[in-house]
Structure 1
Amino acid sequence: MADENTQNGIAGQPQAQQPQLRMQILAQFIRDLSFENAVAQKGAPTGEVQPEITVQVSLDARKRGSDNQYEVITKYRVTSTNKTEGSTLFLAELDYGGVFQIDGVPQDQLHAFLMIECPRMLFPFVRRIISDLTRDGGFPPFNMDPVDFVALYRQELARRAQQAQQTPADVKLS
């Protein structure tokens, strides 16, 4: 029978415990919010209205003064335009933040954790705010599709890698 404490072929020596991952949301807040109802300002569009909605997402994170505390800001820009004539129907902008206490994440994985997991925790609140904002602004509520933060993170890494390749290593002056 094998010894239950055998790890990596060494009997009697238990494997070192990995630090346990722990994330706690200490605060959530709206940092900036705006809604522009272009229809109300300019008057109802003439002809048929075919709304087309685009969503832009950007992320930012920074370490706070306390140990293992980070602030993550998610920025959303939701634009609705009339496909038939290209005019803007509404523009909603929301900067939504969270303060997180994060323990047990290895340093080399922390950036990805902050840019993927933290925004994922904030997203349901952002979705509700945008939905209420568009409804209260006189439009049908816009229920934003879930955001793939992993894909956003990978796109940003690819963009940075491409930018680094395009930056000339040697600058020659003539």
Structure 2
Amino acid sequence: MAEETPAGNGAATAPQQVRMQVLAQYVRDLSFENVVVQKGLSAGEVQPDIQVAVSLDARKRPVASQYDVITKFKVTSKNKTNGDTLFILELEYGGTFLIDGVADEQLHPFLLIECPRLLFPYVRRIISDVTRDGGFPPLNIDQVDFMALYRQELARRAQAQQAVPAEKAN
């Protein structure tokens, strides 16, 4: 039995359904340096100061509607008492996504906010496991606000564009 739809149901004006599928996830690059062991630093009084830097990259794949998104994390732990580096961890974690139904003007923020948000739990687990396996207590990094990160990058780019015309005028 065929389902009847009323004429003029507004289907043509309804927004297209967003479809997002994670096709692959992978560690693109991973480096962990246990500086304490390498340099033979004395354990002494250790008060770790952890700094986490995050950057993002996204690019279109040759296949229609597919994109690669890379999240880059650099975690540096230094001793607050003397400034000695304890460890450095660098992780590039990627995902390949199939994305349909996102308007062109919304695609860039979608790729750099929603996709990294999906990858983040895996990144957090990897960082925790690597620091534990490297001889330190497992590091469970705080949630990253990818929306705020995206807005900061837009503001930085706008400021850089304003600085360029001022330099040319001089």
What TM-score results when the alignment is normalised by the length of structure 1?
0.89
Q: Which residue of structure 1 aligns with residue 86 of structure 2?
A: 89
Partner of 1:112: 109
Distance (whole Å) between structure 2 residues aligned to residue 170 and residue 87 of structure 1? 39
Q: Does 1:14 align with 2:22?
A: no
SS of aligned partner of 1:52 = strand
In structure 1, C-alpha distance between the alignment counterparts of 2:92 and 2:167, rounded to whole Å: 39
Number of equivalences: 163
Structure 1 residue ranges without an equivalent (≥5): 6-11
Tell me the equivalent position of 2:64: 67
Distance in 2 separating the partners of 1:172 and 1:161? 18
Moved segments of 4+, more than 4 Å: none
**Whole-angstrom CA distance in 2 between matches of 1:121 and 1:104:** 18
Query: 2:169 and 2:102 mapped to 1: Cα distance?
Result: 43
Bigger Rg, which one: 1
Matched letter for residue 94 of structure 1: L
Shift of 1:47: 3.2
Q: Percent identity?
A: 66
Q: 1:19 & 1:36 partners in 2: Cα distance? A: 47
Give secondary structure in 1 for the equivalent of 2:42: coil
Amino acid at match of 1:14: N
* Deviation of the 1:169 alpha carbon: 6.0
AA of the residue aligned to 2:75? V
Amino acid at match of 2:46: V
- The structure that is helix-richer by fraction is 2
TM-score (norm 2): 0.91
Number of the residue aligned with 1:130: 127
Name which of structure 1's ranges 40-49 and 119-128 shifts more when overlaid on structure 2: 40-49
Distance across 2 between alignment mates of 1:34 and 1:141? 16
